[in-house]
Each structure stands twice: as structure tokens, then as C-alpha cells.
Amino acid sequence: MAEPLIGMQKLAPQTFGAAVLRAIALALACLVALSGDAQPQPAPPTQYDVEAVYLYNFAKFVRWPLGTQHDAMTVCVAGQKVYSDTLTRIVAGERIDERPLSVRSVERPEEMAGCDIVFIGLSAKNRLESLLASTANKPILTVSDIPGFLDKGGMIQFVVSDSRVRFAVDLRPVQGSGISLSSELLKVAVKVSGNPPGGPA
């Protein structure tokens, strides 16, 4: 299991900081309730919890090309089952742009059809290149916590700095996919590579 995080970074007030904190609180409440072993003081969020909440919030700051949206917004998870389990609890009953959210696990590139966001966990590192190849130039946001993920062609990589989960973005594969990321999301990234539409990063 991931070690509990000491804290979370402060995000710009006009971005999703408050939503992240609310979602983490909800996720922790669900985890405690489902464990059947509630504690007087809830445990601090783990790295899994925080990254799962980020995945949910990323969906609010992505725009997909017209005509490519599915009935449900689907987050696919390749890797540790704990991510898909945690994310499923967080997004239960939630909607973004009137679309319900769903979560499903994937193992092979051919299972990626219908995914809007793909998270590739560390345990899927040996399949990273084939999974990324299956999403190349398609309207799919790719996210991972695997070191060097951006160098392999990924879009958003989680990094841990001073016990806080942050993220870096590479806009080059984003531009080839047809999707777009909100400037508000880019403002709180620890690093942005590539040029956003209309000018340099």
C-alpha cells in the first residue's frame, strides 16, 4: 500500500482545489464505511486516494472533439486494482457535462475501446508501450504515476514532491489526440512541456 500523504498542495482558488478536498473527504468516508471498521480519527489520504481524486477532477478540465463523446464518461485503469476500486467509490452517482461516470479495469490494448481517460499504474509498467501505442492520436487522456511516463508519450504524470502529489503535463501528445486541456488545469501543473494552443507554455 502507498504511504499516507502528509498533506496536499494548495491549488489556485479558481481551479479544482476545493473540489479535490471535498472528494477526498467523501472518498475517505466511503473507505471507512465499507471497511466496517470505522475509526474515531480517519486515516490521512493515501497516494492512491489522492491520485484517484485527481483522475476524477481531470475529467472536468478536458474537452473531447465533437462527435467522440460516449454516453458515459469512462475512466479505464490498467494496473493496481486499488485504483479502480477507490475511483469507483469516488465517482459513484457523479456526472460531468450531464454524462455519468464509469470505471473499468483494462489489461490489454484491445480493451481500450470506449475509454475517455486511461490511467496506467506502476504494476502495468511492462505493458506501458503497447498501452500507449493503442491510444496514440486518439481522443483519450493518458495518465500515470510511472517514472518517465511523459518521455514515453504520456500526457499527465503524477509526481510526489515533499510528500504531496502533484502532476506534470506534456502537451505534445495532447495536441495529436484532438482533446484539449483547460488553461486552469495547466496553471497548477508543476511542469508543462510543449506549446499550448496560441503560444508557448
Instruction: Encode pLDDT of 135-172 as tens digits.
Output: 999 999 999 999 999 999 999 999 988 878 899 999 99
The DSSP secondary-structure symbol of 128 reads: H
pTM above 0.75, yes or no: yes
- The yes-or-no verdict on residue 42 having pLDDT over 80 is no
Q: Which fold has domain 17-193?
A: Rossmann fold (3.40.50)
**Mean pLDDT, residues 180-185:** 92
With bands split at pLDDT 50, 70 and 90, how would you rate the model's confidence at 36?
Answer: very low
The gap between the terminal CA atoms of the chain, to the nearest Å, is 35
What is the domain partition of the chain in residue ranges? 17-193
> Considering all CA atoms of the chain, what is the largest pairwise distance in Å, rounded to the nearest integer?
52
- The yes-or-no verdict on residue 38 having pLDDT over 60 is no
3-class DSSP assignment, residue 131 = helix
For the stretch 77-107, pLDDT in tens is 998 888 888 899 888 888 888 888 999 999 8
Query: Do residues 156 and 168 make contact, with C-beta atoms less than 8 angstroms apart?
Result: yes
Q: How far apart are CA 76 and CA 49, in angstroms?
A: 16
Q: Which pLDDT value is given to residue 53?
A: 87
> Minimum mean pLDDT among 34-43, 99-108, 164-173, 189-198: which range?
34-43
CA atoms within 13 A on the CB side of 187: 12
Closest by CA to 140, choosing from 122, 155, 159, 128, is 155
Share of the chain above pLDDT 70, in %: 75
Closest by CA to 156, choosing from 138, 173, 133, is 173
